[in-house]
A and B are shown apart, each in its own frame.
Chain A
């Protein structure tokens, strides 16, 4: 049971031990799905915070590092209060201002558009903060061997970095994306600790550019080719639309025209999936490289991501969400976590016994912004 035998592995120094990560499925997830769905229904969606917590508790306990499971210590109440506070700070003023605009201005449509743009700008400005704080909350509620994780940087400066990188990405037509993503990852992982020991992240963005260039060039090629194809296939069928809407008004229903519309939408969906699959090739490379650049104590990470497996994960999750109308969402989280655990390996050793508990302050509430912005899947 005690694991102080790591000295035999070649890379280790005294006290270090190798690290293995695995995901062991356990019963109860289906029951959890149904319970969460029913209670969310009867509580007019308020239960969703507790539902999320139940799922995390279950899934965290299935993740085993060197045989010890992770533990999730967050509570539904913390998430509920976090969301309530953000609603009071952002949601309520937005509603009140929108309502007041009806009474106070001559052109409420214009004023509402201005308000919405202001809030959209605020949303983009604070997006990074939402991501960072949610990550910080989750880390502080994740325990392994009684020790919790932390994120020690400023969420505001991260938010500015994130916003700045978004601006730069769009100004360079995407070409700064690999470098910017690397920057963001560097900040996030540089700030991350387990107990009093910090993760380190360092590496160049250069190796990402070959894949990025291929994806960047192929995207418009695929879109144009697909549109031309759709045009060729359906261009001749446009005659079917002659008088279609007039007929609909009169209660007559033209089945052929409907099929053409359905086919066109199916074509566009296939295009979307195709583009997403293409970019998965880049994402896979990025994930692998980012893992390689990450170190903790004497250990280095390896993430065995393949394009095919990532596409399978993504499509499978998409299908689960669609077919179960979202009720099966815990399975999506499980698939994601299992994928990561199965494909993540750690080279080298960690001197686990030397890690002390973190003294960083702990958030009292969590994830309000992420909830408000509707960012995250789990």
Chain B
């Protein structure tokens, strides 16, 4: 036999307080009053309106009447409600915790899956779809950030020799993409492929090169990046990364895009990308009968820090580019051609002219 307990009801229509009687039954509460009204609040629809605290008034609401509030003073009735409808008290709820964990894990998995696709699969495809005009604009901006005020080496005989050398590399295969090669007077040994097939060599690289095969090897390697759209894909990847970050934090995140640092990270490639470019280089060099050991020689040189890292205004750029992943194993991968199979790249007089391109 249920005993009626005094309680306070706000009906959600007005702020008036009503004195009511509450009976705790086996399936819920029966609220009697005001003025002869009667409500049945089932346990399943019962919720705490405020955090439940022992010794304080228990404030209840029910799904059937979202605005109505029932206040049970601390005592027998409140204890019975908390005992029979334990979900009201909140606290640790294994079912809810499990659901939450499942949502978080699914969310994280989805986030990383989408992230992986955005960073590793999509960029290449999106890059391939960029209109040529966009790619040119992109190339201009990147070039400005990279070259700064470095002088282009344009000794006429040297340029002629460089064109002959590049032509020799391009002729190796009918599938080489359009590209251009220029030399800039920069005080460190390196080479990079900018978007739009613009290959840049440093004057120091030409100066330190021991053979035309070495320069041809470097061009072939950079051409590999160009053929695989690595520079363009890298930019798309950066944009994707920023989108992901801003999605997570809700910030705008678009402003770092224009920064030079953002552009610089573009030309740092993954081990896989470098391997792809190496594969490409070795293939076309072999097809064109240019000895790949020149490329191998170049990698060995790059590991000499005193050559590849500059001071002053070129410090950042050179140190950033000097991180070439897995140089050691890549050197192993590049095998020289069997004796007698390699042909010369450019005649000796042109090689001499190329060496003087920056003078």
Contacts and interface: CB of A to CB of B under 8 A. Distances in A.
A202 interface: no
A91 B243 CA distance: 10
B12 A146 contact: yes
- Most chain A Cβ neighbours within 10 Å, of B17, B59, B251, B253: B17
Interface string B13-51: 111110100000000000000000000000000000111
Nearest to A116: B255
Interface residues of A, number: 53
Interface stretch (A97-105, A275-283, A316-324): A97-105
Contact of A353 (B14, B19, B243): B14
A357 interface: yes
Nearest to B256: A98
A147 B10 CA distance: 9
A138 to B, nearest CB: 16
Contacts of A45: 248-250
B227 to A, nearest CB: 21
A354 B15 CA distance: 7
Interface string B78-111: 0000000000000000000000000010011001
B137 A353 contact: no
A103 B6 CA distance: 72
Interface stretch (B67-75, B160-168, B300-308): B67-75
A1 B73 contact: yes
A352 interface: yes
Interface in A323-378: 352-357, 371-372
Contacts of B69: 71, 143, 145-146
B134 interface: yes
Contacts of B258: 98, 102, 108-109, 112
B283 interface: no
Given A87-B250, A98-B254, A356-B13, A71 B50 contact: yes
A57 interface: yes
B180 interface: no
A145 B158 CA distance: 89
Contact of B14 (A58, A355, A372): A355
B70 to A, nearest CB: 10
A44 interface: yes
Contact of B50 (A57, A102, A116, A352): A57
Given A1-B19, A95-B253, A102-B141, A43 B104 contact: yes
Contact of B250 (A83, A105, A143): A83
A147 B14 contact: yes
Contact of B15 (A42, A60, A355): A355
B248 A44 contact: yes
A26 B14 contact: no
B72 to A, nearest CB: 11
Contact of A43 (B14, B17, B107, B137): B107
Contacts of B252: 91, 94-95, 119
Contacts of A353: 14-17
The SS class assigned to the B binding surface is: mixed
Interface in A23-56: 26-28, 42-46
B242 A95 contact: yes
Interface in B215-240: 235, 239
Contacts of A61: 50-51
Nearest to A4: B17
B130 interface: yes
Interface in A106-156: 106, 108-109, 112, 116, 119, 143-148
A2 interface: yes
A69 interface: yes
Nearest to A197: B15
- Most chain B Cβ neighbours within 10 Å, of A43, A146, A147: A146
B73 A357 contact: no
B143 interface: no
Interface in B171-226: none
B8 interface: yes
A195 interface: yes
Nearest to A61: B50
B59 A95 contact: no
B246 interface: yes
Contacts of A57: 50-51
Nearest to B70: A146
Nearest to A84: B250
Nearest to A72: B50
B53 interface: yes
A3 interface: yes
A145 B49 contact: no
Contacts of A143: 49, 67, 69
Contacts of A119: 252
A146 B67 contact: yes
B11 interface: yes
Interface in B298-346: none
Contacts of A95: 242-243, 246, 252-254
B131 to A, nearest CB: 8
A95 B235 CA distance: 15
B154 interface: no
Nearest to B235: A102
A82 to B, nearest CB: 11
A26 B51 CA distance: 10
B140 interface: yes
A88 to B, nearest CB: 11
A257 to B, nearest CB: 22
Given A44-B248, A353-B16, A356-B14, A69 B59 contact: yes
Contacts of B71: 1, 68
A30 to B, nearest CB: 14
Interface of B: 6, 8, 10-17, 19, 49-51, 53, 56, 59, 67-69, 71, 73, 104, 107-108, 111, 130, 134, 137-138, 140-141, 235, 239, 242-243, 246-255, 257-258
Interface of A: 1-4, 26-28, 42-46, 57-58, 60-61, 68-69, 71, 73, 83, 87, 91, 94-95, 97-99, 102-106, 108-109, 112, 116, 119, 143-148, 195, 352-357, 371-372
7 contacts: A71-B59, A71-B69, A94-B252, A95-B253, A145-B10, A145-B15, A357-B12
Given A1-B71, A42-B108, A43-B104, 8 more contacts: A60-B50, A87-B250, A97-B254, A98-B257, A104-B137, A105-B137, A147-B15, A353-B15
